[in-house]
Structure 1
């Protein structure tokens, strides 16, 4: 057979990076509407943040050397020479032997190089008793220490998280250029599949839950999803509906029909959509081996297994990276993961990467991963899981107590 030449997980990640194009259409959005968008142009800071030297604590601005030798039993003494009001410029300089009160975030007066926390001093009748010595620069943020004018703050291709939006707001930037929102179309295939709203199932029928799980993930990633319904195992009807959805979207997702059965037309349908076509048909992974990845006419197409757990795991592992690359994001790492200790022995076949659903619990200050055993078709294994343990293809399993990478559910 021409297709179903199995790739490793690592090969698949590499092919996604090489084969999936990124969109180039841009739009301008206000910051409050840019969360999780992909930055289309680099941002260079035009000013310092902070714009002035400022205190990080409530305390007294001093010349650090004036506090040397101060202890609780033998305090030093400085003259309390005033205060800086929040939001006002500190115009009066601190002379040697003086201290000026500064609130948290207040401007550091000229002549001072540090701030003595209010907990470590006491003002009595205009005299400040100092009970601790501090070093130059202590409890102070210098102008430009956070962001310096002229530096590259954000490069194009990064996803705008809350912290990036905060950094942009700190510079007074109100709008950003981002890549436009992408649209995915989803189509389920199979004679046995019926709408999930179906109240009474006939013998052999299965509700279409993959639409909700897969489209739910896509929406979490900031993708609009068109539901294309369900098509039977008929080539003409399947091909016609797939092409219609393909033309309406930036990404086509097909669920079911990705294996090598006599009525599995997914590969043929995808090949008919355009060149270069399928670049992955089969991944050395459990669950989810019969997975299809393709590019047709510059648009990615994903063929997912029909089993709910398999479809969701595969889409979480590979669909997200396809979507992120398509959205114009720079891919710098694999899916987010932590390391946990395995609560039980798990066997694995060498030469194939296994992904095991696990629940996480904290014991003795460490994370422990407890396998949730169940067949790949069981959606409840995903409901109960906090993540997926990755057992690499060169390993024959893991032992209880071993540290393992866990891809976190989002």
Structure 2
């Protein structure tokens, strides 16, 4: 029995991307989806694809890069599952407002996810951007404890406050 026979959502990872040969795209397209979005304006995770079949089953194609897949899971997959389940409110997540103390976050062209270090200084949370943000740099997950998501065109500068999703409890200083 195939995954599409037993599940409402099928998630693939790897094999999709900007190369000349994209097997995941070819296979997904062969299912004649009603809607197929190939590639999203976000980084990391630009190769993410989303297909809705005639029977309302959903296929989500994730990049094989772990950081890209993480971003697509937190931004796209979570929202698709909420909509299919009829959930109207957000699930509580550990988020804090934090002041950017180093770096600039944001992009004029695409939505972005940034890996950040969150610290608690007195009564305030502060964040620092990691200098290298490549989607294949999985070791950076050991160095961070938070994620910041920006919309297309949103720029956060030193001193600005931004919402950070906590992955681990921030250290106190």
2:52 to 295, 313, 332: 295
* TM-score, with structure 2 as normaliser: 0.82
Task: Give the gaps of 5 or more residues in structure 1.
Answer: 1-242
- Displacement of 1:298 in angstroms is 1.2
- Displacement of 1:320 in angstroms is 1.1
Local SS of the residue matching 2:140: helix
In the other structure, the counterpart of 1:283 is 40
Kindly tell me: are residues 366 and 377 of structure 1, through their superposed partners in 2, closer, same or farther at Cα, counting changes over 3 Å?
A: same
How far apart, in 2, do the equivalents of 1:256 and 1:331 lie? 31
In the other structure, the counterpart of 1:313 is 71
How far apart, in 2, do the equivalents of 1:318 and 1:386 lie? 21
- Displacement of 1:247 in angstroms is 2.1
Aligned residues: 166
Aligned-residue CA RMSD in angstroms?
2.5
* Cα distance per residue 1:177-209 (max 9 Å; x no partner): xxxxxxxxxxxxxxxxxxxxxxxxxxxxxxxxx
In the other structure, the counterpart of 1:362 is 120
- Displacement of 1:303 in angstroms is 0.5
In the other structure, the counterpart of 2:82 is 324
Kindly tell me: are residues 276 and 331 of structure 1, through their superposed partners in 2, closer, same or farther at Cα, counting changes over 3 Å?
A: farther
2:25 to 261, 267, 273: 267
Q: How does 1:7-406 map to 2 (within 5 A)?
A: 244-278=2-36, 280-296=37-53, 297-331=55-89, 337-346=95-104, 348-374=106-132, 375-395=134-154, 397-406=155-164
* TM-score, with structure 1 as normaliser: 0.37
Q: Do the aligned residues in 2 keep the contact of 1:373 with 1:381 (CA within 8 Å)?
A: no
How far apart, in 1, do the equivalents of 2:104 and 2:13 lie? 29
Task: Give the gaps of 5 or more residues in structure 2.
Answer: 169-173
- Displacement of 1:407 in angstroms is 2.8
In the other structure, the counterpart of 1:228 is none
Q: Do the aligned residues in 1 keep the contact of 2:105 with 2:114 (CA within 8 Å)?
A: no
Q: Do the aligned residues in 1 keep the contact of 2:103 with 2:128 (CA within 8 Å)?
A: no
* Cα distance per residue 1:102-140 (max 9 Å; x no partner): xxxxxxxxxxxxxxxxxxxxxxxxxxxxxxxxxxxxxxx
Local SS of the residue matching 2:3: helix
How far apart, in 1, do the equivalents of 2:24 and 2:38 lie? 11
Higher relative contact order (CA 8 A, sep 6+): 2
